[in-house]
Amino acid sequence: MLEVRDLTKSFDGFVAVSGVTFGVPRGAISAIIGPNGAGKTTLFNLITGHLRPDRGHVTLNGRDVTHVAPHDLCRLGVGRSFQRTNIFPRLTVFENVQAAFICHRGGGWNLLAAGDGVHRDETAALLESVGLAGRAGEVAGFLSHGGQKQLELGLALALEPEILLLDEPTAGMSAAETRESIRLIERIVRERGLTLLFTEHDMEVVFSIAQRLTVLHQGRVIADGAPDEVRRDTEVRRVYLGERH
Ligand SMILES: Nc1ncnc2c1ncn2[C@@H]1O[C@H](COP(=O)(O)OP(=O)(O)O)[C@@H](O)[C@H]1O
Ligand SMILES: [Mg+2]
């Protein structure tokens, strides 16, 4: 469904993403893993049109989308979340998701009328599915970190994507929150028949959910394949798990 070929990006001579090639099959749960600074967020920004690559291509359903702007890519079915949350902190949880529906489907955004009916049922249903039904009236900026991440997921889903790109969806969460959040994401992806690509720095989180892994190290792909293959890979063990040989 999504193909990345030879994607490369430098910042002032520093190569953050270097010749990255991998594919995401439709319906699969795939992950990009790598330690902090490996180039995961940069790679996401290249895929979603937030950054222009120096070289390489991104193809979605066979169509070259390398230079497509983020909002147009969203119309083509690519939804994403950000490593740092991207919510409207002063609006309520409900209004955040409602605003996302209005952006996507139209309906006219008016803060004073926000409490009124526009996309009310879809908003309530989506909040239920991301586990925020009981917090609809709370001001988004006051949610816990985990709650804000759930809301971000809701905002991405309101855009009705076919493929969901989540950048470190469990960043900053406790181990318990992480497990719960991964289960939630997995359930939503399966229920909606989505394709998922997410980034993560904690390898254990990834093994519990991903069918395919791409390991980045200093901007390069050092391994790519099924979790078990990747776990056994000697280079991954050396650079990522810190084993010496
Ligand atoms: N806009 C930028 N300008 C300069 N350097 C950047 C920029 N964005 C990222 N980098 C550098 O690129 C490398 C990869 O960063 P990033 O993609 O955020 O990694 P990750 O998400 O895997 O932690 C890091 O060394 C980072 O400092
Ligand atoms: Mg990152």
CA of 100 to the centre of ligand 2 (A): 24
Query: Can you give the three-state secondary structure of the chain, one letter per residue?
Result: CEEEEEEEEEECCEEEEEEEEEEECCCCEEEEECCCCCCHHHHHHHHCCCCCCCEEEEEECCEECCCCCHHHHHHCCEEEECCCCCCCCCCEHHHHHHHHHHHHHCCCCCHHHCCCCCCHHHHHHHHHHCCCHHHCCCEHHHCCHHHHHHHHHHHHHHCCCCEEEEECCCCCCCHHHHHHHHHHHHHHHHHHCCEEEEEECCHHHHHCCCCEEEEEECCEEEEEECHHHHHHCHHHHHHCCCCCC
Residues 245, 243: Cα–Cα separation, whole Å: 7
Query: What was the pLDDT predicted at 192?
Result: 93
Q: What are phi and psi of 241, to 5 degrees?
A: -90, 0
Do 34 and 95 belong together in one domain?
no
Q: Which ligand is nearest to the CA of 34?
A: 1
Q: Which amino acid belongs to residue 212?
A: R
Is the Cβ atom of 42 under 6 angstroms away from ligand 1?
A: yes
Is the Cβ atom of 149 under 6 angstroms away from ligand 1?
A: no
List, for the chain, all residue ranges whose pLDDT scores fall below the cut of 50: 245
Is the Cβ atom of 49 under 6 angstroms away from ligand 1?
A: no
Do 226 and 174 belong together in one domain?
yes
Query: What was the pLDDT predicted at 239?
Result: 78
Q: What is the number of domains present in the chain?
A: 2
Given CA atoms 194, 199, 200, 206 in this order, what sign does their dihedral have? positive
Closest residue to atom 11 of ligand 1, CA basis = 16
Q: Are 56 and 47 in contact (CB under 8 A)?
A: no
List Cα–Cα distances, 129 to 12, 125, 157, 189, in angstroms: 43, 6, 10, 11
Is the Cβ atom of 119 under 6 angstroms away from ligand 1?
A: no
For 114-141, how does the pLDDT look when each residue is reduced to its tens digit (9 = 90+)? 556 788 999 999 999 999 999 999 999 9
Last residue of a domain, one of 128, 160, 192: 160
How far out from the chain centre does Cα 101 lie?
Answer: 18
For 47-87, how does the pLDDT look when each residue is reduced to its tens digit (9 = 90+)? 999 999 999 999 999 999 999 998 888 888 898 877 666 78
Last residue of a domain, one of 145, 160, 175: 160
Last residue of a domain, one of 144, 160, 176: 160
Do 171 and 231 belong together in one domain?
yes
The pair of three-digit structure tokens given for residue 93, joined into one six-digit string: 């949880």
Query: What was the pLDDT predicted at 111?
Result: 55
Is the Cβ atom of 34 under 6 angstroms away from ligand 1?
A: yes
The pair of three-digit structure tokens given for residue 52, joined into one six-digit string: 């222009």
Is the Cβ atom of 172 under 6 angstroms away from ligand 1?
A: no
Q: Are 88 and 102 in contact (CB under 8 A)?
A: no
Q: Is the pTM of this model over 0.85?
A: yes
Do 188 and 125 belong together in one domain?
no
Is the Cβ atom of 181 under 6 angstroms away from ligand 1?
A: no
Atom of ligand 1 nearest to the CA of 44: 17
Do 20 and 69 belong together in one domain?
yes
Is the Cβ atom of 44 under 6 angstroms away from ligand 1?
A: no
**Full domain range(s) for residue 124:** 85-160
Do 37 and 151 belong together in one domain?
no
Do 18 and 123 belong together in one domain?
no
CA of 182 to the centre of ligand 2 (A): 18
Do 141 and 169 belong together in one domain?
no
**Site to substitute for ligand 1 among 14, 42, 52, most atoms within 8 A of C-beta:** 42
Do 189 and 116 belong together in one domain?
no
